[in-house]
Structure 1
């Protein structure tokens, strides 16, 4: 065997490409090891339970053969130790850390008690079935949380940032992307940011956010969202939100928050669990003393019945009656574009007697258009249109955008410079152009500013437009009205059907809007709401919600704007449209990701189904406990049978809750 050949300088010093490849391979190997370890640890509790079952079977076989005695007991002890490891650890940690008794302690005591009087086999069966049931509970909880894990995995970690100077794209972490940056999204890639398309045409699969399987066409100025999947086209997107503020990241945060919170029913169950366990232990003590002392039962039989009582009176099924159902309902809602911030909101949703809607962007599309305009002869029309366009260009309000778009088309003049501008919430805006003071807003704004004069023949024009459900915005300069614009926002296509279904379900529907009475009445009639409240400023919306709560009890509020946030917070349940403002989304308790009103019906159905299933679970689990306790007192329930009845009922209520994973 010859000596190895000396390596060249190139071989001794690998290139940067080789180093990168080595690092990639190393990273891939570590990642694979991590995945394998995670998969093993995820099922470790189940493996321990099955291994405990194997030692139980071996102990039973040894007991039936010549190996009976110490060998069988040793195998049973292994079954106790391995099979009961996780549940014993859980019970002891709760006892030490929280100083609270739990169902695990009852099971441990029952198994030890069975071994004490020589019933090793029954005690091992108890441990095996209890640990297997616990492993199945863990598995079902992991299954119900699968949607959240899938969401987190779908969040892109990198983006192709376009360099402003060179125009080339380079890969950077999404957390470093700033608002205003431009990102290249190639075919088949996940969209890494929230933004608007500035170049390219493609289709995007938004099922991760909305539950809608049909891809959506994206062209210039279309909105795209983080976490969705680009189709066959390429597009350049201008970033409108940082990664932490994106709709997808908020969706993940909301689902995490919802899964960590407990509804009132679950909190009540957890509150009484400790006192209930103490009560069971007292009953067991009495069960040992009374039959042995006063009913002439043998000590072994009395002690055995006390251990059975420990098992059958345990509230495992009661404790598992709520959370699997809740997590399943939240997961189903998330898959279908409904985010819930907590279990208590989902539980309370179906108890609402009335639902109040904001108009613009909620019942209507929120994309109004100017249909008519009227001007005085005080100033040239070109001058009026140019000035109004310049003022409204400063605002992001839907009405302002509609007026700007209309006026820009009607004038050829260059837009003048707006020196100052002030937003008067709920009324309109006032601005200064050259030496003129301009006001744009509602008739209430004009009256508030002591501007009352406009041609008398406008009355008929105004009345006719209001009867058609159009909003009128007035323009005034230096305390004189010089123009008015009639604006119409179309009803959402799903609004009428949603309102009808809510009314069939016995829920009163009310529209709250800042529009003039005639406009509000027209929109309300077209949409089909039961009642409407017009000319409401943001603070008045809160007062109206309070009034509705006094009248109807529990009230839901649906809105999308900054001015809706106080009312959303005041209502029993606040629902925000996904296309709404960040303030509304942050304030609301539920978010409709695709801004589809019919998802309210889905949410109400989920709430009703969940509450019904929880009631079924509670009645069933408590009935089983009562029947097993009575059967045990009449000596008709053995320890293995008690374990099967007890753990079987627990598994059944969990499976019943998991039915909510189906829409």
Structure 2
């Protein structure tokens, strides 16, 4: 290595070292301020008063620079005095009456608490930082049959990339060739690898474990699910809760009251109580220190950020502190059935056809019509027909009646496939000696097929309840929350499912457009209601509820529509989120009550002249540090 290269390397190492110290700048400044205070105190003890004052002034400047700058900038921007300005006034006032040590200690502890609050902010963003660290920056682009390493930002929709075993997938896409297993823990929180075949969807940031695969890019780097998760958590951390907004609004008025009280304190005790001017001014400075609402201001934000970070680490994404705070007020939760309480993939269990009609013929017709529908029941019937190797073709004509069924013409013959009301309720329910009622009573969903001769068949399907559903609902019941299922099934089927899942109640035959009306009624009855759905068909209901919770396995729509997103379809996480919200609320109450109690105690002690400035500084700033540490407890739940 030549001399020039060595110099370049040394400069790079120096730049890296400086960059690594930057996040700790406030703490370093506070500690240096502490060293200068100790130096000034020792000099003062040895009779070197002028040198001691120099040490204290340096401690003021180094320790207080960050907070002074922040306070002045915010005061100019908001045209409102703040806590930082009170601390500056208190420190300067202490120095003016000769209490250099106390003023410097005030600056030191205030800087230390500020550094701790910054640490809390950084700690709460740890999950984002770790996500950003695993975001791939380069990709193997296949161009003219050749591999070329490019930056992920240059990838475009339709590009073909190669992902080798052990590499992180650099972009959202679908597998065009190859098969593998992928660790999707960064997206869903699921530690078990998932097998992926051709046409399987893959996400940026997940790890390709076993095989090489060619992936067709479906989204640019800026719009990947990975980036949306990062943006979502960042947005949540910047959005303030109602409690935080109230405290910030209260802070400006409180500061004015404190300054007015200090102004009165500078004169009134001298004339009314006979205090000396020195004692009067001294007590005014103590009041300025102890009455500042530092601890009160720090009671909420660190706790909220810690809770949001905790949720992100466990796959619960909050779109802001307001939703996290409101979650503790939930009295009832409404659940969509398909894909939320159940697996979302109903299976055909029974087929009863009209006498003289072959089952294969019937399935061929029904599959032909249902193949044009995206409804889960329709897809299940088509899948069942495919498994039976029954041939079908596209219908000659099709008309969809959303929420009711489908009307189509197959081989010149008109058919109706759908609910009993759609094909003729009386005939449907009396078909085959009322078999539909028996099927519905066992929790099965019935689909009827009718032609010009009447009811041709009834097909029964059952959407199996998720294994974790009963456990999740039990946890919610323990929290005193009423559970309701909203389903399009008939009352008999809905009752059977509600009983099996241990739901409190259900609303049957509920069309998508009616869910909003039912939710409004529930809100009137329970005040604060959450809606849990898949984030697609339930979007209007999610928006209507006080809190919308999406169960989307990380789908884009889930991220966009809901207030809270469970990155994995894990219902017990709802109870976990509610407990987290209640814990946060308890900690905030503890902080607020404690900080107000300390302020009142210090003010009273000062008025009775039993509190000296050093103890006032320690009591005031110590309480601020304690409430921040109390909020940090939410990171470890």
Say yes or no: TM over 0.5. Answer: yes
Matched with 1:417 is: 394
| Secondary structure of the corresponding residue to residue 445 of structure 1 | helix
Deviations 1:43-101 (A, max 9, x none): 222222222223222222222224323x3222222221221111111111111111111
**CA distance in 2: counterparts of 1:505 and 1:527, whole angstroms:** 17
Residue 517 of structure 1: how far off its partner (Å): 1.3
- Say yes or no: does 1:520 pair with 2:494: yes
- 1:424-435 alignment, distance < 5 Å: 424-433=401-410, 435=412
**CA distance in 2: counterparts of 1:128 and 1:455, whole angstroms:** 80
**CA distance in 2: counterparts of 1:157 and 1:30, whole angstroms:** 25
Matched with 1:324 is: 302
Residue 371 of structure 1: how far off its partner (Å): 1.4
Matched with 1:374 is: 352
| Secondary structure of the corresponding residue to residue 458 of structure 1 | coil
User: Please, which of 591, 603, 622 is the counterpart of residue 596 of structure 2?
Assistant: 622
Of 386-395 and 515-524, more deviation after overlay is shown by: 386-395
- Say yes or no: does 1:444 pair with 2:399: no
Asked whether the 8 Å contact 1:338–1:591 carries over to 2, the reply is yes
Asked whether the 8 Å contact 1:208–1:335 carries over to 2, the reply is no
| Secondary structure of the corresponding residue to residue 296 of structure 1 | coil
Matched with 1:139 is: 119
- Say yes or no: does 1:104 pair with 2:84: yes
Residue 553 of structure 1: how far off its partner (Å): 1.7
- Say yes or no: does 1:159 pair with 2:139: yes
Of 218-227 and 121-130, more deviation after overlay is shown by: 218-227
Matched with 1:122 is: 102
Matched with 2:342 is: 364
**CA distance in 2: counterparts of 1:152 and 1:390, whole angstroms:** 47
**CA distance in 2: counterparts of 1:294 and 1:472, whole angstroms:** 87
Q: Which runs of 5+ in 1 are unaligned?
A: 1-21
User: Please, which of 29, 36, 48 is the counterpart of residue 55 of structure 1?
Assistant: 36
| Secondary structure of the corresponding residue to residue 49 of structure 2 | coil
Question: Normalization by structure 1: what TM-score?
Answer: 0.89
**CA distance in 1: counterparts of 2:221 and 2:468, whole angstroms:** 31
| Secondary structure of the corresponding residue to residue 267 of structure 2 | helix
**CA distance in 1: counterparts of 2:428 and 2:54, whole angstroms:** 100
Matched with 1:659 is: 633
**CA distance in 1: counterparts of 2:202 and 2:112, whole angstroms:** 46
- 1:487-526 alignment, distance < 5 Å: 487-526=461-500
Matched with 1:548 is: 522
Matched with 1:84 is: 64
Mark the CA change 1:344 to 1:32 in structure 2 (over 3 Å): closer, same or farther: farther
- 1:276-287 alignment, distance < 5 Å: 276-287=254-265
**CA distance in 2: counterparts of 1:82 and 1:108, whole angstroms:** 13
Mark the CA change 1:493 to 1:222 in structure 2 (over 3 Å): closer, same or farther: farther
Asked whether the 8 Å contact 1:194–1:225 carries over to 2, the reply is yes
Residue 214 of structure 1: how far off its partner (Å): 4.0
Mark the CA change 1:585 to 1:140 in structure 2 (over 3 Å): closer, same or farther: closer
**CA distance in 2: counterparts of 1:567 and 1:72, whole angstroms:** 68
Residue 453 of structure 1: how far off its partner (Å): 5.1
Matched with 1:386 is: 364
Asked whether the 8 Å contact 1:340–1:346 carries over to 2, the reply is yes
**CA distance in 1: counterparts of 2:415 and 2:226, whole angstroms:** 41
Deviations 1:141-173 (A, max 9, x none): 11121111212232223433456x74x554444
**CA distance in 2: counterparts of 1:336 and 1:454, whole angstroms:** 48
Mark the CA change 1:32 to 1:259 in structure 2 (over 3 Å): closer, same or farther: farther
User: Please, which of 614, 629, 636 is the counterpart of residue 640 of structure 1?
Assistant: 614
Deviations 1:458-511 (A, max 9, x none): 343212211121112223456854333211111000000111121122111111
**CA distance in 1: counterparts of 2:330 and 2:374, whole angstroms:** 33
Matched with 1:8 is: none
Mark the CA change 1:499 to 1:66 in structure 2 (over 3 Å): closer, same or farther: closer
**CA distance in 1: counterparts of 2:41 and 2:400, whole angstroms:** 82
Residue 218 of structure 1: how far off its partner (Å): 4.3
Deviations 1:507-528 (A, max 9, x none): 1111110111111111111111
**CA distance in 1: counterparts of 2:580 and 2:545, whole angstroms:** 20
| Secondary structure of the corresponding residue to residue 122 of structure 1 | helix
Q: Which runs of 5+ in 2 are unaligned?
A: none
| Secondary structure of the corresponding residue to residue 366 of structure 1 | coil
Asked whether the 8 Å contact 2:554–2:568 carries over to 1, the reply is no
Matched with 1:12 is: none
**CA distance in 2: counterparts of 1:244 and 1:154, whole angstroms:** 15
| Secondary structure of the corresponding residue to residue 41 of structure 1 | helix
- Say yes or no: does 1:600 pair with 2:574: yes
Mark the CA change 1:182 to 1:475 in structure 2 (over 3 Å): closer, same or farther: farther
